[in-house]
Amino acid sequence: MHHPSILSILLISITFTTITSAAYKPEIRSDAASLWKGATDYGNIVHEIPAGVAYPSSERDVVELIRASGEAFTVAARGRGHSVGGQAMARGGVVVDMAALGREKKGRIRIDVEGMYADVGGEQLWVDVLREAVAQGVAPVSWTDYVYLSVGGTLSNAGISGQAFMHGPQISNVVELDVVTGKGEFMTCSRTRNPELFFGVLGGLGQFGIITRARIILDKAPTRVKWAKLLYSDFTTFTRDQEHLISNNASNYVEGFIVTNENAASDWTSSSPSRKAEVAALLKKQGVLYSIELVKYYDNDTAATIDQEFDTLLKELKYMSGYNATTDASFVEFINRLGDLDNGTPPLPSHPWLNLFIPKSSVVEFNAGVLAGMLPKLNDPKLNETFGIFIFYPFNRNKWDDRMTAVVPDEEVFYTLAALHTAPQDGYKSIDEFNNEILGFCKSKGLKVKQYLPNIKSKKEWMDHFGTKWETVEKRKAMFDPNNILSPGQRIFN
């Protein structure tokens, strides 16, 4: 745990006095509870103590805070605090609790049904956007698996889920932003208005500005979903079916999972002893199994034909015979299927996650070396792995806009692996070492993977990560945050 220096506290105290004497007065607290909140995230691994936490009541408060910072202290915006490596922290600086904007200022979600867009405060949670939009018969088209995340937070990364093969990530479904830059300038931007800032901020890891509003594309909301989970024993068949599904619009959501133990196969085995025995034998033989999660939306207009359409879709796939767990749910139940995971009680676990993008040309070798070759080792109790979910599914690159800062592999189809580990708070190091082994394997084999939600520690690694975009990133940093004030926890320019 790192504490701010006496000098940084003194400088910020002087600046706080200047801020609080201005017409706009962002509340800044330095009590123990506020500082601990600013030094904590979902990862529960990194704890960087700020000198203060700001609670803005308006966008103008954010502007004044950044203008007052000069070069005296850094500033990091914190939404729901779901980073896992201290990315939203500011050691010795100021963490902005963006949720305060929503508490102080009402009407931060505005649905325009005629224009088919929503104007949403950057601090708002996607689950609240879901509820308010669906109440008016519309909904965003691209989601994250977990919707208790802030709009500004996901747009600063990319925002991915099983709809992205069709609609692209969330950053591809935004038409306008309000941003406070690292110069303390409040700017509205779009693809045609201040485009350098617009493309920079989307996927920009908080480096160029703080998103205070986003205009999000909407479509007519479905009312219900057909939802299937299909089990595979063969990797090639599994990926062939996934790529078939993302090559057309017959489905609305496609994801996949790596099954590493019998508990993860309960959807297919809980009511069948024979299937449970078969799965156990396969896992013992080959280490992992694979599953596709598939969803098709429908509403009252298509309810009469949905069963036939869904059956036709499933008949095109080569999953293990009989291993089809299908259910029916409301659209809201599906999008909010994970519920709120942020209500745990101490001691809280750690989440040493690893998220990768893998080019299609490398997935066979990646499966042999990592999915089948390494993930089964996590069943070893010595690793302190109490729980893990391993998500694996493909995207179409043509749904991503390369002008944005987000980085993906340079192939038309690429996959993501989300290794979502949960470990005891003091047991994350062994999982961290395991993650580094995965990265080491990819490097040794020349697999051109990219980190998503990157946890990178050196400038050289960041340059390698951004590749041909590095010069653009440097240029945008000089344009919009020349004093390197924003998001120091990403460790790109600080």
**Domain for residue 469, yes or no?**
no
What CATH code is carried by the domain that includes residue 300?
3.40.462.10
What value does the mean pLDDT of the chain take? 94
What CATH code is carried by the domain that includes residue 28?
3.30.43.10
Is 31 labeled as catalytic in the residue annotation?
Answer: no
Tell me the mean pLDDT in the region 478-486. Answer: 98
- Which range marks the domain in which residue 363 is found? 354-455
- Same-domain status, 389 and 424: yes
What is the number of structural domains in the chain? 4
- Same-domain status, 45 and 16: yes
Instruction: Convert the pLDDT of each residue in 106-165 to its tens digit.
Output: 789 999 999 999 999 999 999 999 999 999 999 999 999 999 999 999 999 999 999 999
Residue 240 has pLDDT above 60, yes or no: yes
The rounded distance, in Å, linking the Cα atoms of 181 and 477 is 10
Catalytic residue among 41, 64, 241, 255: 255
Query: Is 404 in contact with 203 (CB distance < 8 Å)?
Result: yes
- Same-domain status, 266 and 321: yes
**Domain for residue 170, yes or no?**
yes
Instruction: Convert the pLDDT of each residue in 379-389 to its tens digit.
Output: 877 665 568 99
- Same-domain status, 377 and 417: yes
The rounded distance, in Å, linking the Cα atoms of 334 and 219 is 17
- Same-domain status, 108 and 211: yes
Rg of the chain over all Cα atoms, to the nearest angstrom: 23
**Matching residue, tokens 């979903």:** 225
Helix (H) or strand (E) holding 54: strand 52-55
**Domain for residue 254, yes or no?**
yes
Tell me the mean pLDDT in the region 332-340. Answer: 97
Q: How confident is the model at residue 13 (pLDDT cuts 50, 70, 90)?
A: low
pLDDT at 21: 47
Instruction: Convert the pLDDT of each residue in 423-465 to its tens digit.
Output: 998 889 999 999 999 999 999 999 999 999 999 989 999 999 9
- Same-domain status, 233 and 292: yes
pLDDT at 134: 98
Handedness of CA 406, 409, 412, 413 (dihedral sign): negative
- Same-domain status, 192 and 229: no
Q: What predicted TM-score, i.e. pTM, was given to this entire model?
A: 0.95
- Same-domain status, 231 and 207: no
- Same-domain status, 61 and 110: no
Tell me the mean pLDDT in the region 398-418. Answer: 98
pLDDT at 8: 53
What tokens does 386 get? 């109490």
Q: What percent of the chain has pLDDT over 70?
A: 94
Q: How confident is the model at residue 70 (pLDDT cuts 50, 70, 90)?
A: confident
**Domain for residue 345, yes or no?**
no
Query: Is 187 in contact with 296 (CB distance < 8 Å)?
Result: no
- Same-domain status, 72 and 114: no
Query: Is 57 in contact with 26 (CB distance < 8 Å)?
Result: yes
For every residue of 288-353, DSSP letters joined together read -EEEEEEEEEE-TTTTTTHHHHHHHHHHT--PPTT-EEEEEEEHHHHHTTT-------SSPPB---
What CATH code is carried by the domain that includes residue 107?
3.30.465.10
**Domain for residue 483, yes or no?**
no
**Domain for residue 465, yes or no?**
no
Query: Is 47 in contact with 4 (CB distance < 8 Å)?
Result: no
Please name the amino acid found at residue 106: K
What tokens does 305 get? 């034909």
Catalytic residue among 82, 167, 351, 421: 82
Q: Of the candidates 308, 335, 362, which is a domain's last residue? A: 335
pLDDT at 15: 54
pLDDT at 202: 98
Query: Is 176 in contact with 166 (CB distance < 8 Å)?
Result: no
Catalytic residue among 104, 119, 145, 262: 145
459-466 and 470-480 helices cross at what angle (nearest 10)?
110
pLDDT at 82: 97
CA angle 339, 343, 345 (to 5 degrees): 145
Instruction: Convert the pLDDT of each residue in 282-328 to its tens digit.
Output: 999 999 999 999 999 999 999 999 999 999 999 999 999 999 999 99
**Domain for residue 117, yes or no?**
yes
pLDDT at 103: 82
Beta strand pairing status for 354-359 and 52-55? Answer: unpaired
pLDDT at 6: 47
Is 145 labeled as catalytic in the residue annotation?
Answer: yes
The rounded distance, in Å, linking the Cα atoms of 459 and 200 is 19
Residue 397 has pLDDT above 90, yes or no: yes
Q: Of the candidates 65, 98, 131, which is a domain's last residue? A: 98
Q: Of the candidates 279, 307, 335, which is a domain's last residue? A: 335
Question: Residue 204: CA atoms inside 13 Å, Cβ hemisphere, count?
Answer: 30
Tell me the mean pLDDT in the region 162-179. Answer: 98
**Domain for residue 390, yes or no?**
yes
pLDDT at 386: 63
Nearest to 174 by CA among 130, 217, 132: 217
- Same-domain status, 399 and 421: yes
- For the chain, the farthest-separated pair of C-alpha atoms sits apart, in whole angstroms, at 73
- Same-domain status, 207 and 109: yes
